Amino acid sequence: MQTIFLTGFMGAGKTTIGQYLAEHLQWPVYDTDQLIEQQTGQQIKEIFSLYGEERFRELETETLLKKNNQPCIVTTGGGIILKPINRELMKSTGTVIFLRADFDIIWERLLQDDNRPLVKNKSKEEVEILYNSRLPLYMESATHIVDTSNKSIDEIVQQIAHRLRLN
Ligand SMILES: Nc1ncnc2c1ncn2[C@@H]1O[C@H](COP(=O)(O)OP(=O)(O)O)[C@@H](O)[C@H]1O
Ligand SMILES: O=C(O)C1=C[C@@H](OP(=O)(O)O)[C@@H](O)[C@H](O)C1
Ligand SMILES: [Mg+2]
């Protein structure tokens, strides 16, 4: 089994589900946002405000390129699917699980913290446009789609393990 990449929109639960899945499978887990923060010594929101989104996207690609071939879980930032090279890198080196969730559920979660620069000061309508614009890219790059709406974290972890025949 190769790397398991978790993709999906901001607030879909990638970082959280990845932690629980890692515990369940006893696999290491890496979060691209956390790796970028460790590497740069800066918070994601600082990188966006100091250098812009484009620089952040380059850092995401660098992070994917640095990954070794050992089995692990990689939880990605919601925009990782924007660059074709990222979609190719993930698909060619692992299994890509798109964590899908209804936008209304996601929006409620996004209201809980203000650490996401692409959400801060945006209306619900504006973020929904971003969500809809990205959906085809999540679909195109996914090897599996897991619907997470109204499911507990435990149910989602079980479902992923079952779909990948890892339990
Ligand atoms: N299935 C779920 N049910 C309820 N809350 C969830 C679920 N998945 C994630 N959350 C919560 O949603 C918020 C966003 O999750 P997070 O893992 O940061 O998402 P992402 O990494 O996709 O942006 C967190 O507060 C997390 O606890
Ligand atoms: O969707 C995006 O473009 C982003 C998602 C964030 O990660 P999460 O999806 O884990 O919130 C983080 O990478 C950055 O704020 C940009
Ligand atoms: Mg995350």
pLDDT in tens, 14-60: 999 999 999 999 999 999 999 999 999 999 999 999 999 999 999 99
pLDDT classification of 1: cutoffs 50, 70, 90: low
Domain span at 61: 3-151
Nearest CA to ligand 2 atom 10: 77
Q: What is the DSSP code (8-state) at residue 80?
A: G
Closest to 134 in 3D by CA, of 105, 162, 99: 99
Instruction: Using the CB atoms, write b or e for 119-138: b if 16+ within 10 Å.
Output: beeeeeeebeeebeebeebb
**In-domain check, residue 157:** no
CATH number for position 83: 3.40.50.300
pTM above 0.90, yes or no: yes
Nearest CA to ligand 1 atom 4: 152
CA distance 119 to 141: 23
**In-domain check, residue 166:** no
**In-domain check, residue 164:** no
Does the interface ipTM go beyond 0.95? Answer: yes
Q: Is 117 in the pocket of ligand 2 (CB under 6 A)?
A: yes
pLDDT in tens, 115-145: 999 999 999 999 999 999 999 999 999 999 9
> Per the structure, how many domains does the chain have?
1
